[in-house]
A and B are shown apart, each in its own frame.
Chain A
Amino acid sequence: MSLASKPLLTIDGLRVEFDGPDGRLVAVREAGLSIQPGEIVGLVGESGSGKTLTCRSVIRLVPWPGRIAAGRIEFDGRDVVAMKAKELRDLRAHDVGMIYQDPFSSLNPVFRIGDQLTETLRVNLGLSKAEARARALELLSDVGIRDPERRALSYPHEFSGGMRQRVMIALATASQPRLLLADEPTTALDVTTQAQILALLTRLSTEREIAVLLVSHDFGVIAQVCDRVAVMYGGHIVEMGPIGALYREAQHPYTRALLESVPRLESAGRATRKTAIPGAPPDPTESLTGCVFKPRCRYAQPSCDQVSMALETVSPGHETACPVRPFAAADGAAAARAGAQA
C-alpha cells in the first residue's frame, strides 16, 4: 500500500450488528481497510465471514435489522456513517457503484436494457433524453455488448448471465463513480465468462480510474485482478497485503489454510483430497476473547486468548492479525517452492 496518496476509501473499526429475537449477532466485529484511487482490492473469506456486509456498509446498504454499530467509513474525506439521507443518495448516485452476485435478478425484468441505462443517466446525471440514449449505447458497447442499438431494445431475459453482468456493470458505472463495489460478481457465471467479466472490470478500472472492491470467496478470482487482498474471517480482517506477498508468505494460519484448500490443476484426477479446515466458523452470537481463529488453528497457543486482532505490520503494506507467526521461519523455503512452481 502506498501511503503517498490519500486513500479514496477508509474503513476503520467497522462493527455491524443484528439485533434479533434471539439476542445480538455481531456479523462484522472490527474490520478496517483502505482503498487508493484506481486500485483493485480483493476481500476474500468464507460464507458468513462478514465480507459482503463490509462491502455493503460502504454505501450503508446493510439489510434491516442490521446496523453499523461502530466504526468509521470515510469516502474521499466524507464521513459516510454520519451522512444524511440526501448526501447518502448523492454518494450512491455519483460516487459509488455496485454490482451483485446474481446477474439474473439484478436487472428489472419488465424494462428494456436501454431504458434502464437511460433512466440512470437521466436521473443521476440529468442528461436529456437524446443525450442519455446516445450515452447508453456508448456504455453498452464499452462493456462489450455488440450491436448496442438493437440490444438496447432487449429485455433482461433475452440476455445470457455474462451479458447481464456486463449490462449491470454498465449501469453501475454509468454515472462515473470512483469506486465500484463488486460483490461476488462472477460467482454465478461459468469460468470462461468469469474471466471475461474480470478482464472487463480490470480494463474499466484502468481506463476510467475506478477503484474496485472485489468481494469473493475464490482466491483464484482475486489473484487474477487484485492489487491488494484483505482476508476476512469471523468478522475481522485477519491479514492484508499485496497479492504477491500474501500468496508467497502469508503469515496468518487462516490465510494459509484458505490458500491450501484451493484445488490446483496438478492435483486433478489424483485421489488426494484438499485439506479442509477442521471445525466451523465462529458463532456470530458469541462474544469472543482473543483470536477468532484459535479454535480451528493448528498453531494455537495459550497466549492466543490475549490476541487483540489488531493488524501488525510484517513488511511494508503487509499486515497480519496473528502475533504467533508460525510461518516466519519457513518463509524462505515457501518462497523457493512458489518460485519452482511458477
Chain B
Amino acid sequence: MGRLPTNPEVKLITDASATQPAALVVASQASVAASVDAQQTGAALVPGTQGVSRGRQLSDLPIDELKHLADELGLDSTQYETPQELVAAIHQHRQMIATLDRDAMVDVVVWGRRPVTVNASKEQLTQEIARIKAMRFSGLSHRGLIALARVRGVACEDGEPIPQVLKRLKKQEGLIARFSRKRRALLGSVVSRILGESGAQDYQFLPGPGDATAGTTSSTAPAKARSIKDEIEESGLIGGLTGRIKKSADGYVNQKLDEIEARIDRKLDEIDRRLGEWRDKEIANRIRILKITLWASIVVAGVSLIYSFIKVYFPR
C-alpha cells in the first residue's frame, strides 16, 4: 500500500461506484494543480481497474499504462503532455464517473449494444461506453446522451436540451474525425448494399455469476439495430467487416457447440441405456448361476438322502 497522505487537501472519500471499501483519492476538485500535487506526493491511491492493480499509485504507473488507462476511460491521452497532467485528468474523470447515473450509463450500453453484465460496475460501464464511437444518437435516451457526452469529456449539465448536447458532441468530435466518419459511413452504405442486411436481435446482457436475470432482454432502453453500415461507420471498413465476420463465426461456433452438446447428451443416454441393459443381463446371469448351483446342491442332497434312507432301512 502507498504512503499515507501528507497533503492537507487529501482525505478519505467513498467511491460510489466501487464495491470495495473507500479508496484514498484526492478530494479537492477545485484545482487540477492540487490533484497533481497530491499525485506527486504519492497520496492518491487508485481504485481497482482492469489495467491497474488495487492500491497501486497512479503516479507510479509508466506513461504508456497511464495513456492506456486514460483511453479506456474515454479520455484523449494525446491532449496531456506530462504524466502529472494525465494522472490528474484520470482522477477528475473518475470522480465525474462516480457522479453519473448508473441507469443512464446502462441506457448508453444497451443503445450501443456493448457486451456487459447486468450488475457491471460504473467503471466497467464507462470502459464500454468509451468504446462506442457512434455519432448517430437515435434511440438513445436523454439521460443516456448526457452520460455519453460526459464520458467523452464534453461538459454538460443535467437536463440540458438535446440539441445543445448534440452540438457540443459534434464540436468535440473535430473536423477531421467527422470527415473520416462520413467517409466510412459512405463506404459502409456501399458495403451494406453489396452484402445485404440481416435483422439484428434484441440486446441481451452477458450472463453474470449467479445472476438469475442474466440473458434476458433489456427493457431499459429501445435496442438499436446495428447494421453493417453502422459498424463500418464506427470502426472502419476492415474493423466493421472483421466484427461482422467475428459475430458470424461466433454464431457458427455456438451452433456447432449446441450440436456437439446434443450429440454428447444422446451418447450419454445411449451409454446409460446400454449400461442398464448390461446390468439387468448380468444380474439375470448371476441368478441363473445361483439357481443351477441350488439345483445341483438339491440333486446331490437328494441322492445323499436316498443313500442314507437305503442305508438306514435296508442295511446289508
Q: Do A and B come from one complex?
A: no
List the interface of chain A (C-beta within 8 A of B). Answer: none
